[in-house]
Structure 1
Amino acid sequence: MTAPDTIPATEMTLDELRVALAERIAGHAVFDGWTETALAGAAAELGIPADRAALCFPGGAIEMIDAWFAVIDAHMAAKLDAAGASGWKIRDRIRGAVLARLDEASAHPDALRRALAILARPANMARAARLCWRAADAMWRAAGDSSVDAAWYTKRATLAAVYSATLMAWMDDDSEGFADTRAFLDRRIDDVMKVEKLKARLKPDPDRHFSPARVLGRLRYRLEG
């Protein structure tokens, strides 16, 4: 989701304007927090009145953050597509999606910290959980996942946990090029892959289960033979 570049801000619908503002507001939230002041700064960049910008986020800060995260998801997906990730192994696609999302957020780390502090408030915990789930879904979709069975939930729950842990590691990472975060992510993905392989080995094999129908079928074959 990106704002159309060919439409003047004064002619955008509120939905289009919401995206355009979301792409700019984080830069102001670094200094002013997720406030009306930051929103007014983003509105000034687009050359629109602050009161019109406010119509895009009637819920205030939490909706601004929601919109910014949606923009990050869209940019993450575009990066993977541009990199030709569809030809990568699934492990590399997921790794690339997580790193691309972190790379987008790293442009405004202080804005992200302020956003996470708001989401951590008790009143916003449910919204925070939904946004984390949406991020995991966006990363899986960008990685080419189209599952619709129970695995859909398992994959997203697992990735949400991996991403959340990696995000926390990233916020405390002062290594060059976030090398420590990359190593942390690799370890988490390796752990998940080991668990999945173990689950596959432990998964019941229908051919090894007792089946009266199969036994009777074999017995019939022998008797008739």
Structure 2
Amino acid sequence: MFHRVFAHFRHSPSSFGRNVLSRSIGGGPVTERGGARRNYLQKATAGRQFSSTGAQQPPKETFDAFRAREEQKEQEFAKQQQQQTSTETGAAGNAEFSSSSSSSSSSEHTDSTDPEVERTKEMILDAALLFVRSHGWSKEAIANGAEAVNYPSVSHGLFPRGGIELVHHFYKQCNLKLIEHLKQETAELDKVPNPSDFARRAIEYRLRLLEPYLKHWPQALGLMTLPPNAPHSLANLLTLVDDICYYAGDRAVDFNWYTRRVGLACIYKTTELYMLQDSSPGFERTWKFLERRMEEASMVHEFLVKSEGATHQLQNAVGSAFTTARNILGLNFDRR
């Protein structure tokens, strides 16, 4: 009896569980406990994929996937913050740079047109010429020139291009001295009797102005031939020969006007180079060289005038060169 009761008690919970499982999953009677448990778990898992309203819910992500997603979000946020900071910093920097550039540009423009600043620069460069013999055409000479007229040595910052500005200043001063000399030579003349000889003497006078600085003049020539300095240097040369031809009486704008100036520029430069190597007393050989070149130029000029084919082409090319030279130096006015 006890055996039956025990057996009944032992099997009753199992039977009760099977009945409950059968009712919960809506299936028929289950004979095997393992199969019932699998069916229950499968349908229970499927049941959790639906909400109370019947809408399908996404499956739960694993912890690793969640951590990876959060780390990615943090990285993206940090990247956005960095980009925003860089943008703000760049905008502020650009605004500051634009402001400083504008003020600097305005300052430079003011300095370049301020008569007082120009007078100060002229004074410093004039004094700096006294130091060319010891320092060459350099910023050191300009700094010493500034100190000589009671300005600080850092005033050479007014000349950002360095020694070439001192060279151009000297060239300009020599050209102005030449103009004054030619004015005196022609003051009482209605017409120059011998234009070729007049031009020769003008070139000699102009080259003699180089004598105090002849030792350092090769350095000046080197600076003038550098690409950034060449346009201004060529403009100085062309205006030099233009002034000589003008006071020699060559004022007609024709083929003769152009050939004289081109030929005279070549003669001046070749004589200048010859002078650097001349050790004769008073540069005697240099002036003989100049005289021979002037005689040859006269013969070449006569040949070119008779050659009508080259007239218009050379006239257009050389004419534009002299116009450009005047524009570079700002000489679109009659300074004579």
TM-score (norm 2): 0.50
Contact 2:275 2:286 in 1 (8 A): yes
Q: Is 1:111 the equivalent of 2:213?
A: no
Partner of 1:33 in structure 2?
A: 136
Query: For the aligned residues, what is the CA RMSD?
Result: 2.7
Matched to 2:120, the amino acid is: L
User: 1:112 Cα deviation (Å)?
Assistant: 1.8
Question: Could you say which structure has the larger radius of gyration?
Answer: 2
Give the total of aligned pairs: 192
User: 1:150 Cα deviation (Å)?
Assistant: 4.7
Give the match's secondary structure for 1:13: helix
Inter-CA distance 16–31: structure 2 relative to 1 (3 Å threshold): same
Aligned mate of 1:193, from 282, 293, 298: 298
User: 1:149 Cα deviation (Å)?
Assistant: 4.1
Contact 2:255 2:305 in 1 (8 A): no
Aligned mate of 1:69, from 171, 178, 201: 171
Contact 1:34 1:61 in 2 (8 A): yes
User: 1:41 Cα deviation (Å)?
Assistant: 1.9
Aligned mate of 1:81, from 183, 187, 211: 183
Question: In structure 2, how many angstroms separate the alpha carbons of the residues matched to 1:72 and 1:24?
Answer: 15
Inter-CA distance 20–89: structure 2 relative to 1 (3 Å threshold): farther
How many percent identity over aligned positions?
24
Contact 2:136 2:216 in 1 (8 A): yes
For structure 2, the residue ranges without an aligned partner over 5 or more in a row are 1-114, 310-336
User: 1:84 Cα deviation (Å)?
Assistant: 4.3
Map residues 1-225 of structure 1 onto 2, 5 A cutoff.
Answer: 13-52=116-155, 54-55=157-158, 57-84=159-186, 86=189, 87-201=192-306
TM-score (norm 1): 0.72
Contact 2:259 2:301 in 1 (8 A): no
Inter-CA distance 138–162: structure 2 relative to 1 (3 Å threshold): same
For structure 1, the residue ranges without an aligned partner over 5 or more in a row are 1-11, 205-225
User: 1:201 Cα deviation (Å)?
Assistant: 4.8
Matched to 2:261, the amino acid is: R
